[in-house]
Amino acid sequence: MSMPDHSDAPMNIAVLGAGAWGTGMALHLARRHVVHLWSREADVAATMQETGVNERYLPGVRLPESVVVHAGTAQMQDVADCGLVLVACPVVGLREQLSALRGLRQPVVWLCKGFEAARPGAPHGLLPHEVMVQVAPDLRAGVLSGPSFAQEVARSQPTAMVVASPYPDVCDTTVQAVHADMLRLYTSHDWIGVEVGGAVKNVMAIAAGVLDGLADHAAGKQGQAFPGLNARAALLTRGLAEMTRFGLALGAQASTFMGLSGMGDLVLTATGDLSRNRRVGLLLAQGLTVHQAVDTLGHVAEGVYCARTVLARAEALQIEMPITRCVVDLLDGRLSATEAARVLMERNVRAESDL
């Protein structure tokens, strides 16, 4: 898939979802385009319209005049004049939003990372593109993912991402709209691998946060062994293997997991202080319950919601995912943070090449 020549031609772009990531992407796009930013939360939309700042999700960053804020759920006719539609709602809201866009001719690209929870009567939860196939199979769509914190994108700090779609024109349009000096876009046709990487790295980031939290808690205590940087490196290495093993079973390409949406996003989310999923792990290591940890964040941490779905789907595929299993047991209260770390270290010896 070739990279098209970058064009400065402005267009109208819709960003559906005004959380931190949707707002951050809107700010980036507004430097060249007119952006229509939709918020399902009427109070958030009203505040942005009045003050020009998304105080709830991205405080301290002012929206330019080229961002037009709307309230509600965007329907197909609302975005018919936009050259590109970016869906930035959490995975839990993706089905409703894509249903509202059924029949749209313009490219639709989602930014969410995770699995939809299993619906009643369904054997397992779905990746975003599988949700689309069910509710809006006529869309020409793709996924935009990679190692990217909303705050840094909003402030024009250097970032690289990947847009993946089986439709070359979707990738081309997204690159023309989003690619800029401080945000470099690459293209892929492996949207399964890009989606799996974006979902599973959140689960791994919770595990990494637990290890870091245990280290912080035990540091300075005489005679007490605790995880350190060696343990984190081992966790991320095996986590990448676990992610790859799962992705291959779903039809992804192995090379995708060595790229931005695999290794890149895993390293960022598992080590970066802005990572919500890592912060959940840190709080669990302090002894908080999962509900207390999520309430403390005040934002969605997708790893909490998709870990069980990842594990259930892996079990159906007979794929071994020990780190994911430990995270689920921790979230469900069957293991403490210390017990989860010990379970992982006590696994049987095996050949490293056995993915």
Catalytic residue numbers? 201
Residue recorded with tokens 């709830």:
56
Two tokens, residue 248: 């291959």
Cα 178 to Cα 221: distance, rounded to the nearest angstrom = 49
The number of angstroms, rounded, from the C-alpha of 53 to the middle of its chain's C-alpha atoms is 23
Contact 267, 258 (CB under 8 A): no
The CA-atom distances, in angstroms, between 23 and each of 13, 14, 351 are 13, 11, 45
Contact 48, 69 (CB under 8 A): yes
The number of angstroms, rounded, from the C-alpha of 354 to the middle of its chain's C-alpha atoms is 28
Q: What is the DSSP letter of 335?
A: S
- For 226, the 3-state DSSP assignment is coil
C-alpha distance across the termini of the chain, in Å: 29
Nearest C-alpha neighbor of 38 from the set 96, 85, 106: 85
Two tokens, residue 18: 């005004």
Q: How many residues does the chain have?
A: 355
Contact 15, 25 (CB under 8 A): yes
> Which run of H or of E encompasses 144?
strand 141-145
- State the alpha helices, DSSP H only, in the chain: 20-29, 42-51, 94-100, 128-135, 150-154, 168-178, 191-218, 229-250, 265-271, 276-285, 290-297, 302-316, 322-331, 337-345
* Burial class, 243, CB count within 10 angstroms (exposed 0-12 / middle 13-18 / buried 19+): buried
Cα 30 to Cα 68: distance, rounded to the nearest angstrom = 10
